[in-house]
Amino acid sequence: MKRIIAMMLALMMVFALCACGNNTSNDDKQKADDSVKTLTVGVDPEYPPYAYMGDDGKYTGFDVEVAQAVCDLLGWKMEIFALNWDQKLTQLDAKECDCIWAGMTILDSMKEAGYVISEPYYDNTQVLLVKTDSGYKTSADLAGKAVAVQLGTSGEALLNGDLSSLKDSFSNVVTCNSFLSCFTELGGGSVDAVFVDYPVAAAYVAENDGYSIIDEGLGAEQYGIAFRSGDQELCDQIQAAIDQLVENGTYQKIADKYPDIVNNLIFLNK
């Protein structure tokens, strides 16, 4: 009996080592193909519907699909780089990716720091996600209640800046490290609302019963693609490609797959 267990454990070890082997061979393949220009797109793959892990275990989402279409059009190879969102600008500076393209809010501070930003492509607002049976209808109803927000998001920045009076009306703001933990706090009753980007809330409401959205157009902002300072040319190339995709209808086709965000896409509403 003991021997069988030992054998099984040994097999598992071997299996684990094989997995290591597989990984490195993947890296080699990517390195070998240097002749084609590669665009490394930095995304936050925990941010549906812009970028997330699809049912087949591959990265997908609106931004990922548009980026892929742009690369196809320009004859480039696309590579996805999973950003650590808290450190996205460091990782862009360090040339780990060529751009940040993942539902990223355009902040004045980024422009001041010299980053090249594309034309805005999405109008976003911050909303409050609440349980439907709680009966909250406006942000005023939430005075004195606890609210969750994700660390490093524009929602968090707004609460600490322009919307600080709203923050002061809450009894407590809980900062979580992912949307899922924010939503779990809400589901579990430890907070009464989640302050979150509209499309994320819409996607969650579509999948889960018993939640509703309070949309008061708070913190209107726009999404864009960020490049390193000096990469104006790359930005222009990609912008031109996107314009072409809008014209030939590919952009619309991709957008139709994401009903939660299609209404706020700037290029389609011009």
Interface contacts to other proteins, rule CB under 8 A: 9, 12-13, 16-17, 19-23, 27, 31, 45-48, 52-57, 81-84, 87, 90-91, 93-96, 178-180, 183-184, 204, 207-208
Q: Whose Cβ is closer to other proteins: residue 205's or residue 262's? A: 205
Q: Whose Cβ is closer to other proteins: residue 258's or residue 267's? A: 258
Number of H helices, E strands in the chain: 10, 12
Shortest distance, position 138 Cβ to other proteins, whole Å: 26
Q: Whose Cβ is closer to other proteins: residue 178's or residue 248's? A: 178
Q: Whose Cβ is closer to other proteins: residue 60's or residue 124's? A: 60
- Using CA atoms, how far residue 217 sits from 87, 115, 169, in Å, is 28, 27, 18
Q: Whose Cβ is closer to other proteins: residue 21's or residue 75's? A: 21
Distance between CA atoms of 11 and 15, rounded to whole angstroms?
6
Instruction: Write out the two tokens for 170.
Output: 């809450």
Q: Whose Cβ is closer to other proteins: residue 175's or residue 252's? A: 175
Shortest distance, position 180 Cβ to other proteins, whole Å: 5
Shortest distance, position 173 Cβ to other proteins, whole Å: 21
Instruction: Write out the two tokens for 230.
Output: 């000096």
Shortest distance, position 142 Cβ to other proteins, whole Å: 23
SS (H, E, C) 37-74: CEEEEEECCEECCCEEECCCCCEECHHHHHHHHHHHHH
Do residues 148 and 193 make contact, with C-beta atoms less than 8 angstroms apart?
Answer: yes
Shortest distance, position 82 Cβ to other proteins, whole Å: 6
Q: How far is CA 62 from the centre of its chain?
A: 10
Do residues 219 and 163 make contact, with C-beta atoms less than 8 angstroms apart?
Answer: yes
